[in-house]
Amino acid sequence: MSDIEETRRDRYRKRYENYVYAPFSIIWDDWRARIGLAIIALYVFVGTVGVFLVEPTTNLDGSAFIQPFETWEHPFGTDRMGRDLFADTIHSTRPILIMMASGGLFTVTVGTVFGTIAGYKGGITDTVLSSITDVFINIPGLPLVIVLAVMFEPRNPVLVGILLSIAAWAGLARAIRSQVLTMRRESFTEAARAMDVSTSRIIRKDILPRLMPYIVINMMNATRNIIFSAVGLYFLGVLPFEDQNWGITLYLAYDAGAHYRPGALHWLLIPMIAIIGISVGLILLGQSLDRVFNPRVRARHRNGEAEAEGSEDVEADNTGMMKQV
């Protein structure tokens, strides 16, 4: 036991270094993270602040089929109804981001809860939760989503995101359960149980931190799948046309024959470029976030900082000795 009592300021400094400074330092050292964060930050800015800076477009805002960058009044051009595609893209970003966030969080939350509890508790709890998971794994995801979309006609982006991920959590739950079954037999888990540590604390402090790299990667994959599913179902006309988004723009462009009319091709390409851009950002960010939750990388990062501080102290001492000489 240490004779030195840790102050509240020291505890806050430790939490800042562990949960704020170290993750951002590791991310900043990876070029993939910098590019991915910049792309995601741009989309978030467009979906939150941009909608207040750019007015929504209406029919006859300009002439039909103005080409991109032909005039700065309509930098992305217009469609056949004279709607400004720049304003259309800006205001289509917000509902897509809401769908991504709600669907990704739903998938990760439900999958992590089911998998962790089933793997750690075992017994009848594991049997019940695993049976529910097996049911959702064996249900065809796309037909289920289409049937539910036709039945309920969700118009809120949050409900659409949850609907699109209604069966996506089961695979994550099964994978997490397998990893937790291995962790519950590890020495650190058995030692915690021998010390009468509560189950919730063991899961929060010992098990979940080791699962975070896998959970984060699945979070990024889930959000990307939500984009493709939402755009695809809006393009097919399965989901109701409530708020303007990239899927509705693709549907209208395809319905107008933009895929074979050179003068209208930009109407089809602009939402496709927006979808590709956010997907690339999520891929790069997901690849780099694995380093943040990797304990070896964090330890190596801390050791590198300690060595750097030590070398600076040695250099300062040598400088002082030279001055004395």
Domains in the chain: boundaries: 23-72+84-293
- The tens digit of pLDDT for each residue in 228-264 reads 888 888 888 888 887 788 988 999 999 888 888 888 9
Better pLDDT: 319 or 132: 132
Tokens, residue 139: 């249900």
What separation in angstroms does the CA of 30 have from each of 50, 77, 87, 171, 205?
Answer: 28, 36, 33, 30, 27
- Name 78's bridge partners: 84
What's the rounded Cα separation, in Å, for the pair 80 and 111?
A: 44
CATH of domain 23-72+84-293: 1.10.3720.10
Give the pLDDT score at 304.
Answer: 53
- The tens digit of pLDDT for each residue in 183-203 reads 888 888 888 878 888 878 888
Alpha carbon 283 to chain centroid distance?
9
What's the rounded Cα separation, in Å, for the pair 104 and 228?
A: 13
Q: At what angle do helices 208-236 and 169-183 cross, to 10 degrees?
A: 170
Residue 107 has pLDDT above 50, yes or no: yes
Give the pLDDT score at 322.
Answer: 39
- The tens digit of pLDDT for each residue in 120-132 reads 888 899 999 999 9
Give the pLDDT score at 6.
Answer: 64
- The tens digit of pLDDT for each residue in 50-99 reads 999 999 988 888 889 999 998 888 999 999 989 999 999 999 999 999 99
